């Protein structure tokens, strides 16, 4: 486990983190969430020890091994993939040599001595490391991890520096998993993975015995893994128990309750201030006014929830009407040497369709996308665009679309027609490039900023066919939802590749699966495709005489899936509902009783204040009969009534706090 305690950090005048505190227990899996630029990666780097906070600390148990995967890195190595991954075990191989030496030393050192105990402690530590790293099944483990992350046997002998940046990130991830540290710190680990590799990684993390803290925008990935969510919101950290969808629900409830408490308190404050203003200058009411002033001073003030940080806001321009058949590919083939990627396939895309290309890693999704977009001219076959079709292509890697030495504004203007160039800054502002951001060089932008800029450039054309290869990479969840909505409302055709299952389920209307060089079409979204594929596989198994496995039913239907994305909790059982209703009934009864007691205490306070005023007047007035001995009795009584009033006011504040807490609890049920 590890403990983040009161961590604060600022860059110039901008406060990134303020007294951030949370714990991740042994074996616990947690996610850091928040919009782009809020400090998620910075917080992860602080935990990793790469950034020193201005205040606070991160504490770990002794001998804890930490593994950190950054969002982007290059692997400049001419070793083969297999050799590079085996370097992870070099220290453990050295441990084994040292263990043999320690065994020899222990045979010559008397038991029970300090020297023997020190050797034994070191030997025990090294033994733990060799067992944890599973040294003796190294080859099998390396092969399993590389296969799970999408590497083919022929890839293992290739030098690492021959691979693209995305594949180099997979090698770095493989090395980290093989390291098997006590604590895994992962910054966007799914950005360069396909759906199959993401599912494999999720299974691997489920089997990992150590703690995991990740930054992720992958909703399905987080829902499957995490049990704690750390939200970074305007330098503050808020903790939610549960997965991502549950955190959304709890966040909405917390903000609703915060608003309700604030509104109720503002009404109460206004009522008290009205009383003070009305009776401030009346001597007979002076004590009551002072009592109200003290109430305001003692009152713990609630704050209203702050509006969410901005996210991108846009919609695609209306698509010019095209022919019904937007794109037709006939007898399409592509091979790399002896390896056939596409084998005489047929693809047809129609007006208004939203089509996803899916398939295992290396099946040819991006290859097909590039061919259809006209970026790869070396494929065999024919591609025909329908009448009045204009396409816009979003490549998987931004180096194809952005010029590193351009500014944000210059890059946008390079694609903008004259009629919208005068709106450039307004459009960039909708993509969160405000003020001096538009003068930033492309090479200085983060991954999320580059993706937002490329999306902004797509608004410059009048395309009625959008081709998007992994458009959600580096986008925060709010921006992904905006893109989902924009694509759903877009009236042109869309072809996309994405590893975000929620994104696919909310956008697409048809799936084209690429497998073994062939293309198979399925109607519906991604979840429905999985179900239909299961039906097909079961039928083929039965035809081949194999025992068919029952097809998996869709995980959720579209309505339920949308509810999950919006943070609606799962349906409760009858027993859970009865228990909840019983608890609600008890809480409502207690709330009713507490509210009545609050009213009774307020009435009693009024009476005591009136009694205090009477006694103070009596004490200030000289006795008409000249008997001053009675003033001592009045003074003593005044002291008793004041003490009673303070006691009742303290109880009133306690009861009011109980009312607020019960109101909050009932709002969460």
The DSSP string of 299-352 is S----PPPPPPP-----PPPPPP--SEEEEEEEEEEEETTEEEEEEEEEEEETT
Report the C-alpha gap between 469 and 201 in whole angstroms: 21
Most confident of 216-230, 445-459, 624-638: 216-230
pLDDT tens digits, residue range 403-418?
Answer: 888 999 999 998 888 8
pLDDT tens digits, residue range 504-555?
Answer: 999 999 999 999 999 999 999 998 998 888 888 887 877 777 655 544 444 4
Q: What is the pLDDT of residue 552?
A: 46
- Round to the nearest angstrom and report the end-to-end CA distance of the chain: 31
Q: What is the pLDDT of residue 594?
A: 85
DSSP assignment letter at 417: -
Read off the pLDDT of each residue in 574-601 and give the average, rounded to a whole number. 80
Report the C-alpha gap between 480 and 471 in whole angstroms: 9
Contacts with 646 (C-beta within 8 Å, 6 or more apart), sequence order: none
Number of Cβ within 10 Å of residue 94's Cβ equals 11
441, β-bridge pairs: 407
The H or E element spanning position 234 is none
Strands 183-187 and 211-215, bridge-based pairing: parallel
Strands 228-233 and 29-33, bridge-based pairing: parallel
Read off the pLDDT of each residue in 648-666 and give the average, rounded to a whole number. 76
Residues 427, 451: contact at Cβ < 8 Å?
no
Read off the pLDDT of each residue in 238-266 and give the average, rounded to a whole number. 85
> Domain spanning 2-245: which superfamily?
P-loop containing nucleotide triphosphate hydrolases (3.40.50.300)
Q: How many CA atoms lie within 13 A of 166 on its CB side?
A: 19
Q: What is the pLDDT of residue 559?
A: 43
pLDDT tens digits, residue range 299-313?
Answer: 878 888 776 666 788
Number of Cβ within 10 Å of residue 252's Cβ equals 13
Tell me: pLDDT of 464 over 90.
yes
Q: 268 pLDDT band (50/70/90 cuts)?
A: confident
Q: What is the pLDDT of residue 307?
A: 65
Residue 249 burial (CB < 10 Å; 0-12/13-18/19+)? middle
Q: 573 pLDDT band (50/70/90 cuts)?
A: low
The H or E element spanning position 21 is strand 14-24
Residue 397 phi/psi, 5° resolution? -110, 130
**Structural fold of domain 325-524:** Rossmann fold (3.40.50)
Q: What is the pLDDT of residue 170?
A: 92
**Residue 291 CA to its chain's centroid (Å):** 47
* Domain boundary assignment for the chain: 2-245, 249-298, 325-524, 583-668
Contacts with 196 (C-beta within 8 Å, 6 or more apart), sequence order: 150, 360, 361
Tokens 């228990």 correspond to 579
Q: 567 pLDDT band (50/70/90 cuts)?
A: very low
68, β-bridge pairs: 185
Tell me: pLDDT of 326 over 50.
yes
Tell me: pLDDT of 344 over 90.
yes
Nearest to 410 by CA among 437, 385, 448: 437
Percent of the chain with pLDDT over 70: 91
Nearest to 399 by CA among 462, 334, 447: 447
Q: What is the pLDDT of residue 556?
A: 40
Count each helix (H run) and each strand (E run) in the chain, helices first: 21, 18
**CB-based contacts of 586-589 (< 8 A; 24+ apart in sequence):** 587/662, 587/665, 587/666, 587/669, 588/666
pLDDT tens digits, residue range 119-140?
Answer: 998 988 888 878 777 767 788 8
pLDDT tens digits, residue range 382-399?
Answer: 999 999 999 999 988 777
Q: Do domains 2-245 and 325-524 have the same CATH topology?
A: yes
Tell me: pLDDT of 558 over 60.
no
Tell me: pLDDT of 448 over 90.
no
Q: How many CA atoms lie within 13 A of 167 on its CB side?
A: 18
Q: What is the pLDDT of residue 565?
A: 39
- Cα distances (Å, whole numbers) of residue 321 to 351, 352, 388, 394: 8, 10, 7, 21
Strands 339-350 and 325-336, bridge-based pairing: antiparallel
Tokens 């009865």 correspond to 578
């Amino acid at each position: 486990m590890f403990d983040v305690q009161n961590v604060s950090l600022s860059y110039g005048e901008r406060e990134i983190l303020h007294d951030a505190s949370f714990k991740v227990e042994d074996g616990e899996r947690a996610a850091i969430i928040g919009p782009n630029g809020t400090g998620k990666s910075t917080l992860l780097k602080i935990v990793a020890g790469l950034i020193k906070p201005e205040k606070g600390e991160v504490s770990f148990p002794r001998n804890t091994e930490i593994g950190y995967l950054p969002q982007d890195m290059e692997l400049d190595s001419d070793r083969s993939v297999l050799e590079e991954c085996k370097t992870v075990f070099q220290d453990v191989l050295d441990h084994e040599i040292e263990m043999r030496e320690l065994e020899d030393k222990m045979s010559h050192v008397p038991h029970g001595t300090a020297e023997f105990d020190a050797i034994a402690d070191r030997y025990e530590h090294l033994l733990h490391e060799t067992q944890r790293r599973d040294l003796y099944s190294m080859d099998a483990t390396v092969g399993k991890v590389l296969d799970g992350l999408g590497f083919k046997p022929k890839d293992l002998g290739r030098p690492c520096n021959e691979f693209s940046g995305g594949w180099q990130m997979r090698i770095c991830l493989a090395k980290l998993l093989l390291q098997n540290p006590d604590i895994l710190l992962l910054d966007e680990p799914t950005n360069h993975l396909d759906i199959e590799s993401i599912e494999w990684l999720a299974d691997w993390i489920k089997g990992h015995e150590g703690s995991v803290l990740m930054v992720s925008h992958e909703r399905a990935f987080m829902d499957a893994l995490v049990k704690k969510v750390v939200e970074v919101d305007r330098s503050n950290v808020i903790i939610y128990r549960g997965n991502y969808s549950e955190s959304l629900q709890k966040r909405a409830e917390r903000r609703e309750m915060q608003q309700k408490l604030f509104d109720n308190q503002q009404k109460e404050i206004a009522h008290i201030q009205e009383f003070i203003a009305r009776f401030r200058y009346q001597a007979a009411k002076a004590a009551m006014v002072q009592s109200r002033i003290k109430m305001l001073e003692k009152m713990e003030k609630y704050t209203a929830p702050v509006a969410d940080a901005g996210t991108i806001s846009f919609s695609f321009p209306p698509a010019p009407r095209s022919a019904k058949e937007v794109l037709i590919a006939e007898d399409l083939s592509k091979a790399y040497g002896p390896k056939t990627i596409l084998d005489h396939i047929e693809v047809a895309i129609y007006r208004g369709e939203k089509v996803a290309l899916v398939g295992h890693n290396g099946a040819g999704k991006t290859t097909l996308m590039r061919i259809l977009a006209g970026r790869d001219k070396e494929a065999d076959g024919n591609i025909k665009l329908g009448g009045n079709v204009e396409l816009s292509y979003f490549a998987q890697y931004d180096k194809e679309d952005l010029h590193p030495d351009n500014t944000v504004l210059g890059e946008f203007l390079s694609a903008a027609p004259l009629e919208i160039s005068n709106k450039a800054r307004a459009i960039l502002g909708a993509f969160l490039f405000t003020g001096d951001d538009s003068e930033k060089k492309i090479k200085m932008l983060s991954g999320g900023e580059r993706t937002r800029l490329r999306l902004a450039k797509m608004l410059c054309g009048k395309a009625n066919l959008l081709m998007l290869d992994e458009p959600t990479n580096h986008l925060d969840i709010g921006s992904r939802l905006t893109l989902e909505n924009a694509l759903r409302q877009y009236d042109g055709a869309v072809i996309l590749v994405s590893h975000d299952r929620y994104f696919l389920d909310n956008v697409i209307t048809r799936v084209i699966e690429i497998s073994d060089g062939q293309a198979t079409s399925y109607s519906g979204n991604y979840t429905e495709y999985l179900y239909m594929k299961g039906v097909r596989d079961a039928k083929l198994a039965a035809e081949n005489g194999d025992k068919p496995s029952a097809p998996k039913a869709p995980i959720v239907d579209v309505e339920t899936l949308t509810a999950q994305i919006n943070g609606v909790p799962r349906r409760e059982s009858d027993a859970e509902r009865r228990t909840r209703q019983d608890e609600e009934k008890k809480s409502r009864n207690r709330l009713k009783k507490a509210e009545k007691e609050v009213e009774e205490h307020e009435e009693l306070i009024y009476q005591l204040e009136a009694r205090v005023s009477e006694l103070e007047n009596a004490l200030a007035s000289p006795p008409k009969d000249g008997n001053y001995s009675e003033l001592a009795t009045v003074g003593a009584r005044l002291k008793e009534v004041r003490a009673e009033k303070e006691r009742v006011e303290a109880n009133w504040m306690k009861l009011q706090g109980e009312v607020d807490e019960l109101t909050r609890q009932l709002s969460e049920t």
